Amino acid sequence: MSIQASLTITGGQLLLPDGTVTPGAVRCEGGFITAVGAGVVPQKGDTVHDAAGRIVAPGLVDIGVFAIDKPAFHFGGITRAALMPDQNPPLDVPARVRFAAQSGKPDFWVHPLAAATQGLEGTSLAEIAMMRDAGARAVATGRRWIGDSGTMLRLLQYTGMLGMIVIAHAEDAGIVGNAVATAGEMATRLGLPSAPAQAEALAIARDITLAEMASAAIHFRNVTTAAGLDLVRAAKARGLHVTAGISPAYFMLSDLAIGAFRTFTHLSPALRCEEDRKAVVTAIKDGTIDVITSGHDPRGPEDKRLPFSDSAPGMAGAETLLPLTLNLVRDGVIDIGRAFALLSTNPSRLLGVNAGRLAVGAEADIAVIDPERPWIVNSDKMAAAAGNTPFDRQPVQGRVLALFKGGMAVRRSTSG
């Protein structure tokens, strides 16, 4: 990124790394934060942005997106995203990783996730060390589970040696097969191919065991069931390097949402029962969940205007990530400090990037937010490449008014 004029954001409510909110200003120079606090004032030549009493927070860091949609990410306050290897062709060689790592600059950072196996086929390990040197921040199994335990163990042993984390999809593929729904009353009523929710716990149990054997770090991209969350909770209690993420759909929706056969609710993993949804909310509150991610996966009409069983899973989530997470704050589940730990600080730490916090020396990725600003999600007007959201026409609160990447303004908005 070219060096811009120094920036001072004044008149804001600063969300500090300890979770407290205090009046003050932030000064940025050379792409980094140089001063934070009540006594900070603009220097001669600074670009000044008046936050007008709004919250000044770190830009969001989104782990595990399937497409880079800069307009959607900027709308949602996201300044960095970890790109899943499920591209065409997959990110399984250094050249593709290197290209992906450069693709968002200068106003957005893409952190590629290296494919764990060649072609994401789950058999032969890919050139992980070379992809790390090309810019991969972590390794991912992609949309699928690695069914061969020997391959998964070798992967974890190798990444453990390299000091990299494995981001895993947690569903036993032999059980899930071609299911598009979670087994239960709703799937039975609709006549949809379904799989038991226990497929998640089985996959997590095996992978935790292998990670412990390899002394390696593993992150489960979406843990959506009470049984799976209990396994993660127990692993953390034993001191293992296990972390877990979730997307808003799984704490906002249950499998009742698929009742109208609307393919925007066809997700992977499938939506779960109400008891599992409540378990996810509890896990966010008690710290079992470390990261909230959008899972951004825009799908056009050719993928979604099909019978439910034939449609592609996925949702456009970048634009709704912040307001849906803020629902948890308004409901008293978490406070705003914890919300941004889930959205910014923790994902930055997992990726090993110097961002996700308002602190001297951190990169100047900053969002000015009005957490109460109302708006209505409209799939026809989203900035994403496709508006396949299950939250279409839903009123939400929370809007990014200004966004800065490395101290450079990439979004400013004063409209409602």
Overall average pLDDT of the 169-189 stretch: 96
Q: What is the pLDDT of residue 412?
A: 75
Backbone angles phi, psi at 373, to 5 degrees: -65, 120
* pLDDT over 70 percentage in the chain: 98
| Residue 301 CB partners (closer than 8 Å, separation 6+) | 386
H or E element in which residue 29 lies? strand 21-29
The 10s digit of each residue's pLDDT in 191-247 is 999 999 999 999 999 999 999 999 999 999 999 999 999 999 999 999 999 999 999
Contact criterion met (CB below 8 Å) for 169 and 143: yes
- 60 DSSP β-pair partners: 78
Measured between alpha carbons, how far is residue 8 from residues 28, 36, 46, 405 in Å? 6, 10, 6, 13
Distance CA 73, CA 297 (A): 12
End-to-end, the C-alpha distance of the chain in Å comes to: 30
Distance CA 278, CA 397 (A): 22
Q: What is the pLDDT of residue 3?
A: 54
Residue 297 tokens read as 């996966």
The 10s digit of each residue's pLDDT in 245-291 is 999 999 999 999 999 999 999 999 999 999 999 999 999 999 999 99
- Specify the range with the lowest mean pLDDT, choosing from 80-89, 122-131, 378-387: 378-387
Ordered strands of the 78-83 beta sheet: 60-65, 78-83, 109-115, 138-140, 165-168, 217-220, 242-246, 291-292
Q: Of the candidates 230, 225, 271, which has an alpha carbon nearest to the alpha carbon of residue 252?
A: 271
Residue 183 tokens read as 């087994």
Q: Of the candidates 345, 358, 352, which has an alpha carbon nearest to the alpha carbon of residue 113?
A: 352
Model pTM score: 0.95
Q: Of the candidates 341, 321, 329, which has an alpha carbon nearest to the alpha carbon of residue 383?
A: 321
Residue 59 tokens read as 């830009």
Q: Where are the domains of the chain?
A: 60-351
| In the predicted structure, residue 64 carries a pLDDT above the cut 90 | yes
| In the predicted structure, residue 30 carries a pLDDT above the cut 60 | yes
Q: What is the pLDDT of residue 357?
A: 97
| In the predicted structure, residue 95 carries a pLDDT above the cut 50 | yes
| In the predicted structure, residue 413 carries a pLDDT above the cut 70 | no
Strands (E), 247-308: 291-292
**Dihedral sign computed on CA atoms, order 303, 308, 314, 318:** positive
CATH 3.90.700.10 fits 60-351, yes or no: no
Helices (H), 119-194: 128-133, 149-162, 173-176, 185-190
* pLDDT over 90 percentage in the chain: 97
- Torsion angle of alpha carbons 407, 410, 412, 416, nearest 10°? -130
Q: What is the pLDDT of residue 5?
A: 76
HEC readout, 345-376: HHHHHHHCCCCCCCCCCCECCEEEEEEEEEEE
Q: Which residue has the tokens 């569903």?
A: 171
| In the predicted structure, residue 2 carries a pLDDT above the cut 50 | no
Helices (H), 177-260: 185-190, 198-214, 226-237, 248-252
pLDDT band at 416 (very low <50, low <70, confident <90, very high): very low
The 10s digit of each residue's pLDDT in 381-398 is 999 989 999 999 999 999
The crossing angle, in degrees rounded to 10, of helices 274-286 and 226-237 is 20
Overall average pLDDT of the 108-115 stretch: 97
Distance CA 127, CA 124 (A): 10
Q: What is the pLDDT of residue 411?
A: 82
Q: Calculate ∠ Cα 257-263-267, nearest 5°.
A: 75
- 297 DSSP β-pair partners: none
Overall average pLDDT of the 100-113 stretch: 95
Distance CA 56, CA 365 (A): 11
